[in-house]
Structure 1
């Protein structure tokens, strides 16, 4: 049986809208693809997944048509399998580690089957409300309503803890809502997860910025534990002439504006964050850059080009996303870096492009890009977007909490099991890792929930010990 992904909408059709590009698997197709799993003795797919999902077992159940059992097994290790199934770079994780892929026959389409299983569960009412067996009386504050915060909230609420999530935005979901375009992740998919948490008793305090509207100390006084899952929102600077001008558009500003338009909002930007009719150049080679180029295509850009300083083989983004972008008309300019952003302080008119070659490997193991002497040329553009990645903000300053420790990389320092230097304060996700994958944020959220629960239960046990000793005496 050959490898088959869900049917993909034609490029000329999907260029015109923001709908998801894949059709769902039919039950028959889903079972066929799940059946391709060789059930190997050493499941490399499982070790290649940050969540260590029990992939072979739920593939076997799906192949046998035991979909409710497959969902239960999938949900046991992941709080949002249908989201990870859509947006994880499976070609670099589980599917990349699949032994069938290594043998040259095409990996099991793990992500697509994962999505199929959970969508089937939602359709059949198998995704049950959160109903804790008993309330513990403890209260936890979570800073950030992105995947790390939502995952921690689910697990903590299942344990019977009270959970309040504080987020600066007007909608819960973090980058799932404002950073990832609809053609990769329909916002209704995120909204139903948020609704499930609300119906299960999780409280959302939106439009609330910690450090401005409430202090970290106030949250510590109000709650028994605090989990910082605030993500990484500070854009990396472009170090070249013109890189600090207003004519350069930050990727997150651009994607947020596009997603807000998708919610029906009017964006008062005088067209600055709209690619319609423009010659667009995106600088960067990660998944955020791919989101930007593909969004620009759908907004009706006259042309879309992507500059990346290394070659295709060394690109950090998903190879699948690059292929989608190429199908949709994006031109990739490999081994190219910006030497300058042309224009004035308010308007970009182009990019001076420096050609690069690849030298010796750097610390990441990828060959270091080196400028090719005398090889520069100017590329005209009406819109230049910088998608160079993100870093955490200065949380000790932002939260008014100098006790928080930062690493040399500018991330929050944690000790074992997500614990920060402040007692009762935990951290995880991109705030600790730096900009990373959603699946790692989910993993951190689940791990933090277990650590918080264990510490609170230990506190309860310690408080009960003297009374029990007195009764025994």
Structure 2
């Protein structure tokens, strides 16, 4: 513990952010790293708790508490405080394959369970984590780790999101020959196309993929299982297969008017925007353009917020985001105690930008869309809504009741559906003929074995829509189980 009274003496300092109106003019990351001196002070706030809840990584009442990859947070906080950055990097990489991803897009459940956060703002763990890995690349410390020998075993990984990449990294370091198959034209899964560049610049992903390739991992893009190669071929050519296809089956709206033109899934919108940006800086026109349009995003989560930010950069005329639930409180509610993930009000980057441009937060709470109305040409024209009240019935069950007299008509020429994901796409799962658990691959947590010998599953394909840290966690654990399956034992963590 570098500074015994650091949490008392120093206040939390947030990462710096570029001016909201200025950053709307580009697609670069909105946040800027703190100085080394500021990060040293932030590291000093860590208490080196006897029981570091920040790294426990568990679920409490369905909410993630602590870091699922069990980052050694107090250790590298102390090392940053002492200016020993290279050692901090070594400790960070012991548990997290890709801190440059989690340091940017993870919601930081570690900070929600930080002991300091019982009474004061949490230690800025996420900012420190990102700074450590970025400095590692800048200083040339991140060099290829070439395995000393190869086992002769070959493993295919289907899907190149965080679970697939984590599994590939671990198995490659164990000496196996790993090939990652991706149906898109770029590696990264939802990291590449599902998260906008202003949160995660794609050079960050490409930098890591280049390093993994230099270490011996083979990447095969534009290859879809069942179309370009069969599951039988993979099982014949490889000693084991891991399904890391994610949970990309988007949940749809079922209501009057859903068929009108101009209504799109959020992930389709975000994917096309990022691909067009990378391919041609939007010169190809292969994207959904919100310029000059009234945009409504249905769904109150992070994906919806990313739609808001993207529409703003496309110079939409207006944008609102509909959410089912009430506005969250400023402080923890009595039924959301520490160390649970704090369900408190925050202003994400997209909302800051909308307020800067239009003068108000774009979020509308406790609202339900009743129907969608189109024009004579079959294009979406407006949404009809009503406000809701969230209450509990006599059995304590949460129910939503309509509030009479709160009906409203909203103009809209673009509507994005961002109400979550139902599970993994069934085409690949059916190709391998593995048992399913609803829309997910059936594979026990901790074992990751499917009903087909030699075929494993990890990440959102197995657990459903979740956090990037859970995907990395499961990719690492599945790699260990595959290593044990192939070799009889495993030294992988």
What TM-score, normalized to structure 2?
0.87
Distance, in Å, in 2 between the alignment partners of 1:5 and 1:279 is 33
Partner deviation per Cα, 1:19-59 (whole Å, 9 max, x = no partner): 11111121111111111111111111111111111101110
Distance, in Å, in 2 between the alignment partners of 1:445 and 1:314 is 35
Distance, in Å, in 1 between the alignment partners of 2:429 and 2:441 is 12
Range that drifts further, 412-421 or 68-77: 412-421
Aligned partner of residue 369 in structure 1, secondary structure: strand
Q: CA deviation at 1:62?
A: 0.8
Range that drifts further, 149-158 or 315-324: 315-324
2:435 is aligned with 1:417: no
Question: Size of the alignment, in residue pairs?
Answer: 454
2:26 is aligned with 1:23: no
Q: Which is helix-richer, 1 or 2?
A: 1
Q: CA deviation at 1:10?
A: 1.6
Range that drifts further, 340-349 or 378-387: 340-349
Q: Which runs of 5+ in 1 are unaligned?
A: 461-473
Partner deviation per Cα, 1:299-336 (whole Å, 9 max, x = no partner): 11111100111112299999687442332124111111
Match of 1:51 among 69, 82, 99: 69
2:391 is aligned with 1:359: yes
Distance, in Å, in 2 between the alignment partners of 1:361 and 1:62 is 51
Q: CA deviation at 1:247?
A: 2.6
Range that drifts further, 53-62 or 374-383: 374-383
Which position in structure 1 is the counterpart of 2:80?
62
In 1, are the aligned partners of 2:276 and 2:285 still within 8 Å (CA)?
no
2:219 is aligned with 1:190: no
Q: Kindly tell me: are residues 141 and 318 of structure 1, through their superposed partners in 2, closer, same or farther at Cα, counting changes over 3 Å?
A: farther
Q: Which runs of 5+ in 2 are unaligned?
A: 1-9, 57-65, 331-340, 355-360
Aligned partner of residue 246 in structure 2, secondary structure: coil
In 2, are the aligned partners of 1:350 and 1:384 still within 8 Å (CA)?
no
Distance, in Å, in 2 between the alignment partners of 1:327 and 1:381 is 22
Range that drifts further, 264-273 or 233-242: 264-273
Matched ranges for 1:156-235 at <5 A: 156-235=171-250
Q: Kindly tell me: are residues 116 and 376 of structure 1, through their superposed partners in 2, closer, same or farther at Cα, counting changes over 3 Å?
A: same
Distance, in Å, in 1 between the alignment partners of 2:404 and 2:225 is 48
Q: CA deviation at 1:271?
A: 7.9
Which position in structure 2 is the counterpart of 1:439?
469
| Runs of 4+ with >6 A deviation | 266-272, 314-321
In 2, are the aligned partners of 1:308 and 1:333 still within 8 Å (CA)?
yes
Distance, in Å, in 2 between the alignment partners of 1:161 and 1:37 is 39
In 2, are the aligned partners of 1:211 and 1:399 still within 8 Å (CA)?
no
Which position in structure 1 is the counterpart of 2:45?
36
Match of 1:108 among 123, 135, 138: 123
Which position in structure 1 is the counterpart of 2:60?
none
Matched ranges for 1:231-246 at <5 A: 231-246=246-261
Distance, in Å, in 1 between the alignment partners of 2:425 and 2:107 is 29
Q: Kindly tell me: are residues 401 and 459 of structure 1, through their superposed partners in 2, closer, same or farther at Cα, counting changes over 3 Å?
A: farther
Q: Kindly tell me: are residues 72 and 426 of structure 1, through their superposed partners in 2, closer, same or farther at Cα, counting changes over 3 Å?
A: same
Aligned partner of residue 407 in structure 2, secondary structure: strand
